[in-house]
Amino acid sequence: MGEPTSTVFPQEILDQWAGRGIDLPALFSAGRLGERMGLVITHAAPEKVVGTLPVEGNTQPYGLLHGGASAVLAETLGSVGAMLHGGPTRLAVGVDLNCTHHRGLTSGTVTGTATPVHRGRSTTTYEIAVTDEQDRRVCSARLTCMLRDAPGDAYRT
């Protein structure tokens, strides 16, 4: 899988979260599930979140990329966008995920790109396009998150 890639955050996000003693790449990730799957978030901003996932190790019994793996990638990217939109005083909680799978893959890496459809005060919706290395659509997903007020210790490490 190569060297781990660190997440690139826009300066305004770094400024917004500064001084909170938080590891942003760890907070805005898929946690242990993402680590086990090899999910890497390469760019994170409310306007666009990009991440990759290897096909190898994330397949179903026929050797194809598991639809659930695409769903994990999609939900992670959309959730990160929603959390960044909500900022340090809000929590994003997924309430609806829809995935349509277009093609099967047996190897390589998929890239997911989440872009907002709606960013409101109480909900966000992101469209996530998962593509293969030839930029062919593998999965189309949509995630809606509810934004809730964060308790005072929500982001303590």
75 belongs to the catalytic site? yes
Give pLDDT tens digits for 40-70.
999 999 999 999 999 999 999 999 999 999 9
Question: Which residue is catalytic, options 12, 35, 47, 75?
Answer: 75
Is the confidence at residue 128, as pLDDT, over 90?
yes
Closest listed residue to residue 71, CA positions, set 44, 37, 46, 25? 37
pTM of the model: 0.91
